[in-house]
Amino acid sequence: MKKIKNAKQIGFLMGLFLAVCILFLSINFQSSVLANAEDLPTPQFSIVFENVQGATNPNSTTGSTPFELQPATRTGFIFVGWFTDPTGGREVTEVGETRTVYARWETFTVTFRNLQGATHPSTIRGTIGEPINLYAVTREGYTFVGWFNAETGGVRVLQANGDITVYARWHSVTAGDNGDDIPWWSLDNTEWWWGLVGVGIGVFLWLVFLVFKKLVKGGK
């Protein structure tokens, strides 16, 4: 009985010793793993910014932890946000992985009316801060007078930098057809005024000639 009791004690002590060894090895292993993990480089991600158009972009192109995207600034332009695609897509306010984002700037629409069959888009979109010059269009049988901000009257529009509807105005060159002709007294009727100026110059030169002729005769 005494031998059996001693054997149990020895077995217990060996088991205890083995448990202590396993615990010690486990602690050392965990410490080693944590130490090695601390030595590993922190994962990095990169961000590519497109359509910045020379704007000041305060955001970093790399990161290791998620961060919020700040707006870009560009003189004369209104920043809308960062998006997943050049057009459409969804807005991105925070990044935490490698990706490409696109700056979007506020736009405007120019709508063209009274084209009367002339070849020209009915609408054009532009970016606020980049004015669009409005050019002449052609229409058979008519002379293009200009773009105006009203169908009748109004003022001539040469450039657009915001939402606007403009109307083409025409001067008929077909005999007997007034079409969209403008009043003769309008400053926009340049042909009539230039003709009047020509007549006035002619009359003035004729009067100068008569006065000169009279002076010559009087001097004899």
pLDDT tens for residues 20-69?
Answer: 667 666 666 565 555 554 555 667 999 999 999 999 999 999 999 999 99
Q: Six-digit token pair at 189?
A: 């009727």
Measured from the Cβ of residue 140, the count of other Cβ atoms closer than 10 Å reads 8
pLDDT at 85: 95
pLDDT (0 to 100) of residue 161: 92
Could you tell me which of 102, 105, 90, 129 has the C-alpha nearest to residue 47? 102
Tell which residue, 101, 102, 103, has the closest CA to residue 77.
103
Query: Is CATH 3.40.640.10 the classification given to domain 107-182?
Result: no
What pLDDT score was predicted for residue 118? 93
C-alpha–C-alpha distance, residues 128 and 22, integer Å: 71
**Where residue 86 falls among pLDDT bands split at 50, 70, 90?**
very high
Output phi, psi for 37, to 5 deg.
Answer: -65, -35
| Other C-beta atoms lying within 10 Å of the C-beta of residue 167 | 19
Whether the pLDDT of residue 175 is over 50: the answer is: no
149 or 178, which is more confident: 149
- CB of 159 closer than 8 Å to CB of 132: yes
Alpha-carbon Rg of the chain, whole angstroms? 42
The per-type count for the chain, helices as H runs and strands as E runs, is 2, 12
- For residue 33 the two structure tokens come to 């793993």
Q: How far is CA 41 from CA 35, 38, 47, 99, in A?
A: 12, 8, 19, 21
Residue extents of the structural domains in the chain: 45-105, 107-182
DSSP-based three-state secondary structure for 56: strand
